[in-house]
Amino acid sequence: MADAKDRSYPLDRIRNIGIIAHIDAGKTTTTERILYYTGKSYKLGNIDEGTTVTDWMAQEKERGITIVSAAVTAFWTPKDGPHKDIEARINIIDTPGHVDFTAEVERSLRVLDGGVTVLDAEEGVQSQSETVWRQADKYKVPRICFVNKMDKLGADYFATLESIRNKLGAPAYPYNIPLGKENDFKGVIDLLTRKAYVWDETDKTGMKYSEVPIPEGAKADMEKYRHELVEKIAEADDVLLEKYLAGEELDVNDLKAALRKSVIEYKIVPVMAGSSLRNKGVQPLLDAVVDYLPSPMDKAEIEGTNPKSGEKEVRKQTVEAPFAGLAFKIQVDPHVGKLTYVRIYSGTLKSGSAVANSSKHDSERIGRLLLMHADKREEIQEAYAGEIIAVVGLKNTGTGDTLSDPQAPIVLESISFPEPVISLAIEPQTKADQEKLGYALGRLSEEDPTFRIKGDPETGQTIISGMGELHLEILVDRMKREFQVSANVGSPQVAYRETIKQIAEGEGKYIRQTGGHGQYGHCLLRVEPLGRGEGFQYVSEIKGGRIPQEFIPSIEKGVKEKMEIGVLAGYPMVDMKVAVYDGSYHDVDSSDIAFKIAGSMAFEAAAKKANMILLEPIMNIEVTIPEEFMGDVIGDLSSKRAQILDSSHHGNAVIVKALVPLSEMSGYVTTLRSITQGRGSAYMEPSHYEEVPGNIADKIVAKTKGETKES
């Protein structure tokens, strides 16, 4: 194994990969097997026993789910193929499958070069598989599919292959096919080399596997799928295509080299079979990661923007180029404080050096550099292009910020995150807790870009918002454990939004006469509705100096503050354009504060005339149930204002897909369990915002106004 001190690893031997999938597809178990076979851990980690390396948080061990993406480094030497006997360094990020932690997946994919998508051989492509696949598409991440759980009852490799092609629209081709399935799953057949590998049943670790003759019954399938794969590989390479059309037998190494090129260009997604829990099929997957997923060298350049000129700029991903890296994750560590995970794209980073935060036009000093192995760490003095490391000592760097050489600044593409859909009120129990609460919330929101905090000035409560009930539950739990904050928590509230349906105008005049200078601000605004998700636009149509230029931003500030607290029922306002088109000023008395107040007044007056409505988050829900409960479950969903989209059979189960308002789904998992005698499962993710029906909106508005009066 490479000496940890000899760290200048050749770039072409580095693989930065992520393990991504639907919840319960077996990502963490697959990662654990990879760490075991590469010698990073000496014991097979087990989720049920809480002994996994990458699920190291107490909440992860208790619940058996991944919450934060964990970064680990491992080394692997393929025994065969184009990279035979050459040790590769694999930086692996194990990402969460639960939609509440979608930010973890998003930021991991942004900094990875390749991905392994793990699928359940019985369930096939599920909702979250589609979500993470689209996230990977957004960042153009080349992938390998690993069809896991081939030993499970109902496992069907070829049906899963079809669902990858149909549901994900992916150019998926088998790279190996399974030998047997369910209890008879023994091993795999490598299509390119026409070799079959079987794992030794007496070896409980799965370390031992051997080549065996291909069974007669499997030869026809092997030739059929090999022909498909070879044809697709040859299509992308003119020299191979010529030989293939001439009927020549193609050299396996040439095929592998051409396949690597096709995988990196996303023309082919190789599909592989295995069972991580039963320790079968993981070593061929590791070989394929080294052979086919890109190294940092395969994407020779990264694009960014020069912060000084605003021009596009290209930087070579080499150690010789000036330093550039992206901070993609913040983690609060009880021992060393704030850890900032950085993917280094170019150049070298030394501990103690000064760097520019080009996203914030700020400068930072690098403290210690750490190589991470989940929650264990190894201190290093220097880090190089292509690496993923953690930095201690950065003060103002947030998720998505670019760090660069002060002499050669560059801003790389940042990371976008979805808006929260659910909120709850939180109150400290004692005065001592009050001080700790602010600190804890600040640290947790630094870590998690989908976690938002705001104070409610009317009730004195703090409102926290996130991606789902589980997300908020984990955050409150972490406050208690990590920051020792005791707090009373309200029941989860849906994050409604307010908007308008028509164009309207309003006037705001703020005049105060006091001794000496008075206050004078006067403006006229027009509000217009925008399409869903288009956000907020502010324009000035002031001509002839009716309002001096310096007061235009003050009006916008007043408008934004009013939008934040809402006009109809106290919810933030979205999707509208605001234009300031007229007004007047006073030479002596006009000020920023007067125009800010006038802007707020004019906006409220205009909004009230613009046919205001409430919007509510609509969720995509997928319910998997035994067939006999289908009628009851659909009836129950319909009573919750659900729009049933589709129902399909998968083995003995029925999968119902629907769109349903989040406000109707409180405690749904418990309801579903009681309807289906504990045999149903539901998966939910945010879809979009939609208008709340009038009668329900009236009740929400009346309730909010009632609460405001009481307080």
Residue percentage of the chain with pLDDT more than 70: 88
**Mean pLDDT calculated for residue range 638-656:** 86
Which of 132-141, 224-233, 608-617 shows the lowest mean pLDDT across its residues? 132-141
Q: Which H or E element spans position 59? A: helix 58-63
653: annotated binding-site residue?
no
* Domain 423-493 shares a fold with domain 616-695: yes
238: annotated binding-site residue?
no
Tell whether the model's pLDDT for residue 48 goes beyond 60. Answer: no
Class of domain 616-695 (CATH, top level): alpha beta
Tell whether the model's pLDDT for residue 88 goes beyond 60. Answer: yes
27: annotated binding-site residue?
yes
In CATH, the architecture of 11-298 is 3-Layer(aba) Sandwich (3.40)
Q: How far apart are the first and last CA of the chain?
A: 66
288: annotated binding-site residue?
no
334: annotated binding-site residue?
no
Predicted confidence (pLDDT) per residue in 379-414, tens digit: 888 888 888 888 888 888 887 888 999 898 898 887
Q: Under CATH, what is the fold of the domain 498-610?
A: Ribosomal Protein S5; domain 2 (3.30.230)
> So where are the chain's domains?
11-298, 301-412, 423-493, 498-610, 616-695
Strands 172-174 and 269-273, bridge-based pairing: parallel
- pLDDT category, 43, cuts 50, 70, 90? very low
| Per-residue model confidence (pLDDT) at position 109 | 73
**Mean pLDDT calculated for residue range 288-297:** 89
- Where are the extended beta strands (E) located within 244-334? 269-273, 301-305, 312-316, 324-333
**Mean pLDDT calculated for residue range 182-209:** 85
Which of 104-118, 268-282, 537-551, 697-711 shows the lowest mean pLDDT across its residues? 697-711
195: annotated binding-site residue?
no
Predicted confidence (pLDDT) per residue in 146-157, tens digit: 998 898 888 889
630: annotated binding-site residue?
no
97: annotated binding-site residue?
yes
Going by C-alpha positions, the residue among 173, 151, 163 that lies closest to residue 126 is 163
66: annotated binding-site residue?
no
The residues, any chain, with a CB within 8 Å of residue 538's CB and separated by 6 or more, are: 556, 559, 577, 578, 579, 580
22: annotated binding-site residue?
yes
Which pTM does this prediction carry?
0.68
Which of 19-23, 497-501, 567-571, 695-699 shows the lowest mean pLDDT across its residues? 19-23
28: annotated binding-site residue?
yes
Tell whether the model's pLDDT for residue 589 goes beyond 50. Answer: yes
**Mean pLDDT calculated for residue range 456-465:** 69
Which of residues 67 and 387 earns the better pLDDT score? Answer: 387
**Mean pLDDT calculated for residue range 314-339:** 81
149: annotated binding-site residue?
yes
Q: Encode burial over 110-131: b for 16+ CB neighbours within 10 A, e otherwise.
A: bbbbbbbbbbbbbbbbbbbbbb
23: annotated binding-site residue?
yes
Q: Under CATH, what is the fold of the domain 301-412?
A: Elongation Factor Tu (Ef-tu); domain 3 (2.40.30)
| Per-residue model confidence (pLDDT) at position 501 | 94
Class of domain 423-493 (CATH, top level): alpha beta
Predicted confidence (pLDDT) per residue in 541-578, tens digit: 998 889 999 999 999 999 999 998 899 988 899 999 99
350: annotated binding-site residue?
no
80: annotated binding-site residue?
no
Which of residues 57 and 284 earns the better pLDDT score? Answer: 284
